[in-house]
Amino acid sequence: MHRRSRSFAFVILALSAALAPARPVQEKPLPAKAPAENIDGPPVVSAKAWAVADGKTGKVLWGSKEHEPLAIASTTKIMTAYIVLRLAAEDAKVLDEVVTFSEAADKTPGSSSDLKAGEKVPVRDLLYGLLLPSGNDAATAFAEHFGKRFKGDGKADDAVARFVAEMNRTAQALKMGDTKYLDPHGLSKNVASARDLLALTFAALKNPTFAKYVRTRRHTCEVIDADGKKREVTWGNTNKLLDIEGYEGVKTGTTTAAGSCLVSSGRYESDHLLVVVLGCTSNDSRYADARNLYRWAWRERGHGSKVK
């Protein structure tokens, strides 16, 4: 066949294909609709897991996936502070001990109390640096300072490893069966369930000093460097619920693995609740989730239309 003839045949075939009726597109069927909203249930939240407990008894009242171990980010520091304050309850002089920041503490990444290697600060002040700006550096400094007072776990014998081993022993003693700590600050993938965090928070809040720290919105103190020079530092609390009357703490947490987390304490008249939300989609959503759960829970407990 000549080249011109082959070209003509190709054109005819192309036209035939273009003019042929189009094959019907088979659309995938739509998925079945979810059941209608249950208007009597808890609010819809972004959190992967949540739980609500009675603040007076510690009893868990409601939850969703509350037993599921999830990354907990800086809510880890509740346990770090709990251990330090337990030592202080045994010996009040612990709060006056001076912590000297090491290079390792100074270089701890993430959220910071902004202290420098060689600077000195009393334990009573550094607890604010741990709990308000969520200082990862402060958590490292505490583990280094106190770790040697605890026995190791057989895997490592440095101060930080000993401190973390004590965190895990304490979790076991509090029956926090879904919890595993790998560090004192939460940069590793420490895990716990919402239910476990309620148990820890209930225990920690029995200590009035802990309760005072976590409800503080801002704290200023002096630190001293290696040359004896003083400077003033001010720490603001990362927990935005404290800007609303009735909320009293407790601790935020945010990492890529954990999402946005919040352990909180709130009161309405004489009613005290604890709420944990884990794995929220943003920092703003963790506060919205927690507030919605508080309002719903208080209504469920008989406060009715008074809760707006």
pLDDT digits (tens, 9 = 90+) for 221-265: 999 998 999 999 999 999 999 999 999 999 999 999 999 999 999
- pLDDT band with cut points at 50, 70 and 90 for residue 285: very high
Per-residue pLDDT, 19: 58
pLDDT digits (tens, 9 = 90+) for 102-140: 999 999 999 999 999 999 999 999 999 999 999 999 999
C-alpha distances in angstroms, 68 versus 31, 47, 133, 190, 283? 28, 12, 27, 13, 21
- Mean predicted lDDT score pLDDT of the chain: 92
Residue 206 near residue 114, CB atoms below 8 Å: no
SS3 56: coil
Per-residue pLDDT, 26: 75
Pick 7 or 34 by higher pLDDT. 34
Contacts for 243 with CB less than 8 Å, ≥ 6 apart? 217
Alpha helices in the chain (DSSP H): 3-19, 77-90, 103-106, 123-131, 136-146, 159-173, 194-205, 208-214, 283-298
In the chain, what are the domain boundaries? Answer: 49-306
Pick 152 or 291 by higher pLDDT. 291
Assess whether pLDDT exceeds 90 at residue 185.
yes
Per-residue pLDDT, 303: 83
Instruction: Annotate 136-170 with DSSP letters as a single string.
Output: HHHHHHHHHHHGGGS---SS--SHHHHHHHHHHHH
Contacts for 269 with CB less than 8 Å, ≥ 6 apart? 303
Catalytic positions are 74, 77, 134
Per-residue pLDDT, 260: 98
Per-residue pLDDT, 118: 97
Assess whether pLDDT exceeds 70 at residue 7.
no
Assess whether pLDDT exceeds 80 at residue 69.
yes
Contacts for 220 with CB less than 8 Å, ≥ 6 apart? 232, 233, 234, 235
CATH number for the segment(s) 49-306: 3.40.710.10
Assess whether pLDDT exceeds 80 at residue 1.
no
- pLDDT band with cut points at 50, 70 and 90 for residue 41: confident
Assess whether pLDDT exceeds 90 at residue 21.
no
> Whats the size of the chain, residue-wise?
308
